Structure 1
Amino acid sequence: MDMAMPMEIGLLSSYGFTAIFCIAIVLLYTTLTKHREKNLPPEAAGGRPLIGHLSLLSGPELPHAVLSDMADKYGAVFTIRLGAKRGLIISSWEAAKECLTTNDVVFGNRPKTSAIQHMSYNFAMFGFSGYGAYWRELRKISVLNLLSNHKVAQLGNDLLEHELKSMMRSLNSEGKAEMKKYFGDLTLNLMARIVAGDVGSDKEVVEGDKWRKAIKEFFRMMDVLTMADVLPFLKWFENTKEFERTGGELDGVLQAWLDEHKKRNRLEESGSFMGEMIGSAEKVARAFEGYDADTINKATCQVLMLGGTYTISATLTWTLCLLLNNRDVLTKALEELDTHVGRARRVQSSDLSNLVYIRAIIKETLRLYPPAPILPPRESVANCTVAGYHIPAGTRLMINAWKLHRDPRIWSDPLKFEPERFLTDHKEIDFKGGVNFELVPFGGGRRVCPGISFSLQVVELTIASLLQGFDIETLSDECVDMRGSFGSTNMKATPLEVVLKPRLPTTLYG
């Protein structure tokens, strides 16, 4: 977790800073002792004055690993200090279920950070907005207009297969590739085409790779915390220029796309989410004060692009890594493809229902390497009870999916990559966040990821296409490095370089 300290703090006189420091200690002490008489969860040791445990989550060990070690010591429900805020760390499915069902509305809000405020149109992005009527309306529109089963089926037959065909042709011509980059480009291209249609690929509207760079920079900055996020009384001294610059660059791309949609004829069936959103955004703007229609449209498109791009790319990368490190599983996947699809044609969306082993592989990947090892945090709006403990209002909920998915009470040999478990003992476990909480890679409750069906469609068809099309080997014939990197999305830390040999007739790569 990055820390950005505002430059303005250095301009304070030593006397002024000392006074502020003393006030901070008093305020922090008052906040943290207010509920002392209540039955609070155990608090982890090792917190520092003012910043609490943030230093322990800043490296070198990854935050989910640090919190997993703490859970071994303090139990499945404990707290840490995040500056002036408490963080409730959950590592068991029972406590996660309680938070995401019984207390789902209580934990309905997202924490408000400076990065999100200044890069998401002052919380107009429904993924980061507070729980309420505005959030419900935009989520409903997004699900119906883009993420419904009907839309997912359309995407599988059109845009996704178009992008996959392009990727397969390129891989066949090169024979060697860095797959993390290929998966990233695939998902970026796909999300841009879904959101903006042909406008998103029109270089006259957005020159070169400007939109790619803007999205990557947005992701980098999204995880940055300022001292004001940690200690709110320092808000007056905060420097937000980098956030505003990053948000402005992505806004410039989105505005160019939106202007082009309006210019072409907004009443036409555009085939893109942004075009379809024009009328809906105007209705929302009339119903809710605070944001104009263009801002609502751009913010909604922004959250869909960001939510789908890196999570899908990370899952694709980890799936291939695990297959290369477990050749017996890879062999079984190839046998399934040869049996149900063959090599005379390319695998299609309609084949996926027969590829049950590949689906189990992806489930097992999501168990071991969830795209967000710590689910996106929530914040309680009222006092509540979790696992018998009193949880004060304003507590930040952090569910450690990484630890929860490795619970030996649920998963036999939990560190082993074993897709067969989802064809036998755990065949009925679903990860859509409403019934089973032993597996929560997409979260749960009202804030569950709305794009589960879409994400699975992309991952399943991409992996099936890649495995059907190529025999894949690592460059050095050694095990793939499985180290992750810092950030809200669990990306592989190092490149994934492979050698590919075609398995299909040459005509199927054209």
Structure 2
Amino acid sequence: MILLNLSGTVSKFRSYSFLDDELNVVLIFIKALDRCRLFLIISKIHKKSSKRIPLPPGPSPWPIVGSIPELYQKKPIFRWILGLMKEMNTEIACFRFGDVHVIPVTCPEIAREFLKKQDAMFISRPITMATKYASRGFLSTIFSPSGDQWKKMKRVLVSEVINPFRVRWLLGKRTEEADNLVRYVYNQCISGVNVNIRVATRQYTGNAIRKMLFNKRYFGDGRNDGGPGVEEEEYMDAVFTVLSLVNTFCVSDYLPFLRRFDLNGHEKIMKEAIRIVNKYHDPIIDERIREWREGKKNEVEDLLDALISVKDSNGKPLLSTEEIKGQVADLVYASVDNPSNAIEWALAEMINQPEMLQKATEEINQVVGKERLVQESDIMQLNYVKACAREAFRLHPILPFNVPHVSIVDTTVAGYFIPKGSHVLLSRSGLGRNPKVWVDPLKFNPERHLKDPSVKVILDEKDLRFISFSTGRRGCIGVELGSVMTSMLLARLLQGFSWEVPHGESMIKLNESRTDLFLAQPLIAHAKPRLPEHVYPAHKNNY
């Protein structure tokens, strides 16, 4: 998930003013520096660099600040970067921001050289304002630079938290939330209202990870129809704001002396969003730790218990309270956005092509029937349903770029010099929409993933022709979990309901947001139950 301009996901966080005047003053000052001194610096750098392998092609940078002026002016910056690469007809480029070389890549072969052949060289992460807040000072796994802390937390995740045993062990909790999803949409149907698919999909992913982490769906009283309560709405708004900010190009991340000005307004927004997330997480975590320490709890019932109960070689708790809190937040951030975005897009595309809806439901009818709800054990046989989800990951990725990989040494990739400290960005949209790799790349076509009927479709893409889940040493540990959550989300929506455009409309508008890769407007669709009434889950008490 990384390096976007601030997403418009949560409108209430847009109210903060941006300090444009201060940045303009700084830029004017930089441009007014003594030209002779700059010429000498440039000449020295050029003389030194001319003796080595060239950097990847890119725009001519300003002295000292590189392309910082463009970073501020060309918004959204990811569209400028990818557009310029297309103009230059290159699949690897180099943009210098301050003294940081940012290397975007749109070619699968080059991407494999970075994350397979030389993966060990690109194992670190950048240190940014937003990732520091999100990880409680780099105590968790996703955003932490390489080092002992990252290795420690990864060992804990792999051995105790996100492993095949835990995924199977948590099946019941995920099934409860898949049932609640069906109940919620069914209640919308019988109420005669159109369904907001974005709310439904994010509610499902948020509920599922909360149930697996905290053994509870709601932070407050929730709603009788299975939908989100006011607490969950506030919480998910804050979570998606955090995600938009950790995926943002921020001027002060490349020119740290400017951070005190908060030129983009990002730090103020980030602090407020993190405050809201912590408001809901911290009391639960603090109380649970107290129960374990006082002996009131000694049985692992969810992932929070698993983190608390990990012991070191002396039988003492291995993780501090801050490490637990940081890792809990990490698991939330890693779980909620990717499946919900892919399925919102998949359903939007399929509603506009009803033959796809029919083919998917016929497959589910054949494998599962209409007298029970689809289960995770059925997913292996639902090749067409998975192909639809896989195609959504390819064509409609959650982010333009993956989380940056930082080079820990000077090296050479694809014949270009990659300096130590470079930020390597694999372009999710560039890889998945690369016309050299994909025929008719902008067309939503699940059949492209079904050429060999003997091969079971998986959502992961090992050869980096697109990115559904990140790969390599810093890859997604929860690929299996993310895959089953995504597949169940789509399968339950397709099995339980017939979908069509809202009355009075001819088709779903598939416009991409200007500032990110979400649908420009949340998907609103008309749903009708397609199963016998007794199959739908009855109302249950809130969890």
Q: What is the TM-score when the length of structure 2 is the normalising length? A: 0.82
**Structure 1 counterpart of 2:212:** 194
- Residue 222 of structure 1 is matched in structure 2 by 246
1:285 and 1:396, CA in 2 relative to 1: closer, same or farther beyond 3 A?
farther
Give 1:367-386 correspondences, 5 Å limit: 367-386=394-413
Deviation at 1:425, TM superposition (A): 5.7
1:117 aligns to 2:132 (yes or no): yes
| Contact 2:161–2:306 (8 Å) recurs in 1 | no
SS at match of 1:106: helix
Task: Tell me the residue number matched to 1:483.
Answer: 511
The within-5 A match list for 1:46-125 is: 50=65, 52=67, 55=70, 63=78, 66-67=81-82, 70-71=85-86, 73-125=88-140
Displacement of 1:99 in angstroms is 0.3
In the alignment, the residues of structure 1 paired with residue 433 and residue 518 of structure 2 have an alpha-carbon distance, to the nearest angstrom, of 19
- CA separation of 1:227/1:328 partners in 2, compared to 1, >3 Å: closer, same or farther? same
- Match of residue 184, structure 2, among 152, 155, 170: 170
Q: How far apart are 1:299 and its partner, in Å? A: 0.6
| Structure 1 partner of 2:379 | 352
Cα deviation for residue 101 of structure 1 reads 1.7
> Which consecutive residues of structure 1, in runs of 5 or more, have no partner in the other structure?
none
3-state DSSP of counterpart to 2:49: coil
Question: CA offsets per residue over residues 199-241 of structure 1, 9 Å max, x none?
Answer: x63539x993353343233234334554321313435655845
Deviations for 1:459-505, whole angstroms, at most 9, x for unmatched residues?
11111111111110011443322233367x73222111111111111
For structure 2, list consecutive stretches of 5 or more residues without a partner in the other structure.
7-15, 222-228, 539-543
Q: Cα gap change, 1:296/1:57 in structure 2, threshold over 3 Å: closer, same or farther?
A: same
DSSP 3-state at the match of 1:413 = coil
Find the aligned partners of 1:31 and 1:181 in 2 and give their Cα distance.
Answer: 56
Question: What is the alpha-carbon distance in structure 2 between the residues aligned to residue 121 and residue 80 of structure 1?
Answer: 29
Report SS of the residue matched to 2:101: strand
Q: Does 1:279 align with 2:335?
A: no
Distance 1:114 1:15 in 2: 20
1:30-84 per-residue CA deviation (whole Å, 9 max, x = no partner) reads: 9975634422244333756736167368766672575155235231122122343
Code of the aligned partner of 1:348: Q
Cα contact 2:5–2:77 (8 A) shared by 1: no
Instruction: State the Cα distance separating 1:447 from its structure 2 match.
Output: 1.1
Deviates more, 1:400-409 or 1:444-453: 400-409
- Aligned-partner Cα distance in 2 for 1:23–1:279: 60
Matching residue of 1:38: 52
Give the SS at the match of 1:447: coil
Letter in 2 for 1:22: L
Q: How many equivalent residue pairs?
A: 502
Aligned to 1:493: 520
**Deviation at residue 182 of structure 1 after TM alignment:** 1.0
Q: Distance in 1 between matches of 2:428 and 2:209?
A: 26
Q: How many Å separate the matches in 2 of 1:373 and 1:302?
A: 23
User: Equivalences for 1:286-435 in 2 at 5 Å?
Assistant: 293-424=320-451, 432=460, 435=462
Supply the AA of the counterpart residue of 2:137: N
Q: CA deviation at 1:345?
A: 1.3
Task: Give the partner amino acid of 1:478.
Answer: S
Which SS does the other structure have where 2:208 is aligned?
helix
Secondary structure of 1:421's match?
helix
1:506 deviates by: 0.8
**CA shift at 1:184, angstroms?**
1.1
CA 58–16 in structure 1, closer or farther in 2 if over 3 Å, else same: closer
Correspondence 1:149 to 2:164: yes
Distance 1:319 1:137 in 2: 37
SS of residue in 2 equivalent to 1:201: coil
Look up the match of 1:129: 144
Deviation at 1:253, TM superposition (A): 2.4
* SS of match in other structure, 2:520: coil
Residues 136-179 of structure 1 deviation map (CA, whole Å, 9 limit, x = unaligned): 231232233332223223333x1222112222122222222111
Q: Kindly state the Cα deviation for residue 109 of structure 1 after the two structures are TM-superposed.
A: 1.1
Quote the Cα distance in structure 1 between the aligned partners of 2:182 and 2:210.
Answer: 19
Percent identity between the aligned chains? 24
CA–CA distance in structure 2, aligned partners of residues 447 and 43 of structure 1? 26
| Aligned match for 1:203, one of 220, 224, 232 | 220
Q: 1:18 aligns with which of 4, 19, 29?
A: 29
CA contact (8 A) 1:64 1:400 kept: no
Q: Quote the offset at 1:21 in angstroms.
A: 6.7
TM-score (norm 1): 0.86
RMSD: 3.7
Instruction: Indicate conservation of the 8 Å contact 1:432/1:442, yes or no.
Output: yes
**1:221–1:243 Cα contact (<8 Å) kept:** yes
CA–CA separation in structure 2 for the residues paired with 1:17 and 1:92? 37
Distance 1:173 1:430 in 2: 32
**Contact 1:179–1:498 at 8 Å: present in 2 too?**
yes
Alpha-carbon displacement from aligned partner over 1:427-456 (angstroms, at most 9, x marks no partner): 5886646x4232332222111111111111
Structure 1 distance, partners of 2:54, 2:522, is 44
> Which residue identity is paired with 2:105?
I
Question: Residue 200 of structure 2: which of 160, 164, 182 is its match?
Answer: 182
Name the stretch that deviates more: 173-182 or 235-244: 235-244
